[in-house]
Amino acid sequence: MRLGLSVETEVFEIVIRAILVSGTATLLSSLWALPAGVFLGLKRFRARSIAKGFFVTMLGMPTVSLGLILYLLFSRAGPLGFLHLLYTPQAMIIGQAVLITPIIVSFVMNTIESVDPEIRDLAKTLGASETQVSLAVLKESMNGVFLAIIASFNRAIAELGVALMLGGNIRGITRVLTTSIALETTRGELVLGLVLTIILLSIVFALNTIVNLFQRRRRF
């Protein structure tokens, strides 16, 4: 798409797009991954260890492989081709949401498991219902949940494979920070690639700082 802007505005636009895409992906993923993590952390059932093992294995999924699988799914010749989602920011959002799901699930599951079992027992002794017990445990694990969300956002904004395969790195449409870094590096614009890397790290750092402040306020 025609931009007609200077390099600075183009970089600014890329930064905003990267934050929007990865931020939306994190929110979207939280919709299903948070409840799944809480469920796996609290409930005891037979297939639980299989589910646990599945999510931990999926943590090791290379982003290019996930990108390839989703590309085949969204390609016009693929089963979801009729949606015309390939090479859109929406496809990148979906791809990154899938990518970070195992991170949120495993982090949340772990943090809930590690809540002192005495809290559950205490709540039960005090006559709390099943839902109230769950809420009490969730409250105790809020820090872990925050960490899960922030870690998954960091992963989403820093990944390349999904963004490249599903977004296509189209100028003005799906170009984000990581795909620009890859492109500028192959173009031999090493300094620009480095500058973009610093921008990416600054975003991640700023966000982590904000969340830390937020968490500290929670504790009063």
Partner 1 sequence: MLVHIDDVFDGDNELREMESKRIGVWVAAIVLTALIAVSGTAYYFGVGPFSRNRAKLVVATTTSLYDTTLLDAIEDQFEDNYPIDIYFISAGTGIAITYAQRGDADMILVHAPLKERSFLEDGYGVCRKIVAYNFFTIVGPAGDPAGLIGLTPSHALAKIVEEGRKGAVAWVSRGDDSGTHTKEKSLWDAAGFEWIELREEDWFLESGTGMGKTLQITDEKSAYTLADMGTYLKYYTDQLISLAVVVDVGKELLNVYSAIAVNRTYNPEVSFDAALSFTKFLVSEEGQQIIDQFGQDVYPQKLFYPAVQLLKERTNAALASWIEEFAYFDGEECPDKYQDNCKELYN
CA nearest to 156, candidates 207, 198, 191: 207
Binding segment for partner 1 (CB under 8 A), chosen from 50-58, 73-81, 109-117, 201-209, is 73-81
Shorter beta-carbon distance to partner 1: residue 56 or 72: 72
| Residues 92-121 interacting with partner 1 (rule: CB under 8 A) | none
In the list 37, 89, 102, 161, the residue contacting partner 1 (rule: CB under 8 A) is 89
- How would you class 41 by CB atoms within 10 Å of its CB: exposed for 0-12, middle for 13-18, buried for 19 or more? buried
CA nearest to 73, candidates 58, 56, 53, 94: 94
Does residue 15 sit in helix, strand or coil?
A: helix
Beta-carbon neighbour count of residue 119 at 10 Å? 15
In the list 44, 77, 198, 216, the residue contacting partner 1 (rule: CB under 8 A) is 77
Residue 60 in the binding site for partner 1 (CB under 8 A): no
Residue 29 in the binding site for partner 1 (CB under 8 A): no
What does each C-alpha distance from 77 to 81, 83, 86, 208 come to in angstroms? 6, 11, 11, 41
Provide the 8-state DSSP code for 78: S
Q: How far is the CB of 103 from partner 1 (least distance, A)?
A: 19
Residue 7 in the binding site for partner 1 (CB under 8 A): no
**Integer Cα distance of 72 and 86 in angstroms:** 10
Shorter beta-carbon distance to partner 1: residue 49 or 209: 209
Kindly list the residues in this chain that would bind partner 1 in the complex (CB under 8 A). Answer: 1-2, 4, 20, 23-24, 27, 75-78, 81, 86-90, 123, 126-128, 132, 136, 139, 168-171, 173, 183, 185-188, 190, 218
